[in-house]
C-alpha cells in the first residue's frame, strides 16, 4: 500500500494534492476552522446528533421506543468496536502519513506520527452515521453526511490519503451493519427492562407504557397523583 502511494501517477495521490491544494488557496482563518472541524468539531456534532435523536425518540414514545434507543446505543458502540478492529489493520498495512512521502502538502495538524490507513475519524463518524440510520433514517442521513464531510476534511488537512478515508467508511459501515442484528438482540431486551422501570423508564420513553408485556399495569410518572386527585374529588362529591 505504501509503495502505491509513492507513484506520482497514482490517482490516490493526485486526488490528495487536488483536495489539499484547496487549503493552500484558502484564507488562513478558513484553514483554522477546517482544522478544528476536521479534528474535533464533526465528532462533537455526531455525538450531539445522537443525543438529539434520543431526545426525539423518548419524547415520541410508542412501542418501538425501546428498539430505537437500543439502536442509538449501538451507534457509539459500533464506532468503538470499529476503531479496535482498525488497530491490527493499521499495524498490518503500515502505511505512512502522506506528508512523510510527498512534498508540498499543506498539513494543518501537526504531531501525527501513527500510520495512515485507515482513518480513525472517518471510521468513527461513518459507523455512528450508519448506526443512526438503523435507528432513524432522517437523523441517519444527516449523520452519514457528517461522516462524508469528515472524510473530506481529513484529506483537506493533509493527514490522510483519499483511500484511507474510503477504507474508514467501509470499515465503519461493515461493523455497524454486520454486527447490528446481534447488538439489537442483546440491547433491545435491556432497553425494554429499563422502560418498564418506574425510576429509569424516562430514559426510553417520556410517555411511559400503559401496560407491561406481562399484562401488569405499569406505573406512569404522574398517574398516581392524578388518580389520588380524582379520588379526592369523588369523596367530596359523595359528601
- Say what the pLDDT of residue 207 is: 65
Q: Are 20 and 38 in contact (CB under 8 A)?
A: no
pLDDT tens for residues 117-130? 999 999 999 999 99
Rounded average pLDDT over 71-88: 94
Does 98 or 207 have the greater pLDDT score? 98
Q: What is the DSSP letter of 214?
A: T
Residue linked to cell 484511507: 164
- Say what the pLDDT of residue 194 is: 86
- Say what the pLDDT of residue 222 is: 44
Which set of grid coordinates corresponds to residue 99? 506528508
Length of the chain: 239
Q: Are 231 and 221 in contact (CB under 8 A)?
A: no
Which set of grid coordinates corresponds to residue 238? 359523595
- Say what the pLDDT of residue 8 is: 46
Rounded average pLDDT over 172-195: 93
SS3 call for 160: coil
Q: Find all residues with CB under 8 Å of 89, minimum gap 6, and list them.
A: 117, 118, 171
Measured distance CA(202)–CA(14) in Å, rounded: 52
pLDDT tens for residues 21-41? 898 888 989 999 999 999 999
Q: Peptide bond before 160: cis, by omega within 30 degrees of 0?
A: no
- Say what the pLDDT of residue 3 is: 41
CATH architecture of 2-194: Orthogonal Bundle (1.10)
Mean pLDDT taken over the chain: 83
Please name which of 124, 191, 156 lies closest in space to residue 25, comparing C-alpha atoms: 156
pLDDT tens for residues 7-19? 446 888 999 999 9
Strands (DSSP E) contained in 56-130 are none
Measured distance CA(239)–CA(234) in Å, rounded: 9
Measured distance CA(50)–CA(222) in Å, rounded: 28
Please name which of 95, 86, 45 lies closest in space to residue 168, comparing C-alpha atoms: 86
Which set of grid coordinates corresponds to residue 71? 439502536
Angle between helices 42-60 and 65-93 (to 10 degrees): 160
Q: What is the DSSP letter of 203?
A: G
Rounded average pLDDT over 230-234: 43
Please name which of 95, 135, 139 lies closest in space to residue 117, comparing C-alpha atoms: 95
pLDDT tens for residues 141-154? 999 999 999 999 99
- Say what the pLDDT of residue 124 is: 96
Rounded average pLDDT over 109-122: 89
Measured distance CA(160)–CA(142) in Å, rounded: 23
Q: Which of 116-120, 175-179, 194-198, 222-226 has the lowest mean pLDDT?
A: 222-226
Amino acid at each position: 500500500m505504501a509503495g502505491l502511494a509513492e507513484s506520482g501517477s497514482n490517482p490516490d495521490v493526485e486526488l490528495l494534492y487536488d483536495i489539499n491544494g484547496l487549503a493552500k488557496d484558502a484564507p488562513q482563518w478558513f484553514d483554522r476552522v477546517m482544522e478544528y472541524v476536521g479534528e474535533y468539531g464533526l465528532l462533537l456534532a455526531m455525538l450531539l446528533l445522537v443525543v438529539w435523536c434520543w431526545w426525539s425518540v423518548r419524547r415520541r414514545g410508542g412501542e418501538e421506543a425501546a428498539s430505537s434507543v437500543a439502536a442509538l446505543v449501538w451507534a457509539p458502540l459500533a464506532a468503538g468496536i470499529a476503531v479496535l478492529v482498525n488497530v491490527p489493520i493499521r499495524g498490518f498495512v503500515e502505511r505512512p502519513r502522506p506528508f512523510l512521502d510527498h512534498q508540498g502538502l499543506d498539513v494543518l495538524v501537526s504531531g501525527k506520527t501513527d500510520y495512515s490507513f485507515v482513518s480513525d475519524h472517518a471510521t468513527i463518524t461513518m459507523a455512528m452515521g450508519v448506526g443512526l440510520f438503523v435507528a432513524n433514517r432522517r437523523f441517519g442521513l444527516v449523520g452519514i453526511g457528517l461522516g462524508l464531510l469528515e472524510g473530506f476534511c481529513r484529506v483537506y488537512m493533509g493527514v490522510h490519503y483519499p483511500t484511507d478515508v474510503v477504507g474508514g467508511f467501509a470499515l465503519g459501515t461493515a461493523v455497524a451493519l454486520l454486527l447490528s442484528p446481534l447488538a439489537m438482540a442483546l440491547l433491545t431486551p435491556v432497553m425494554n427492562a429499563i422502560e418498564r422501570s418506574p425510576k429509569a423508564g424516562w430514559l426510553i420513553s417520556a410517555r411511559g407504557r400503559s401496560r407491561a408485556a406481562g399484562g401488569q399495569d405499569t406505573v406512569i410518572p404522574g398517574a398516581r397523583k392524578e388518580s389520588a386527585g380524582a379520588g379526592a374529588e369523588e369523596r367530596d362529591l359523595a359528601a
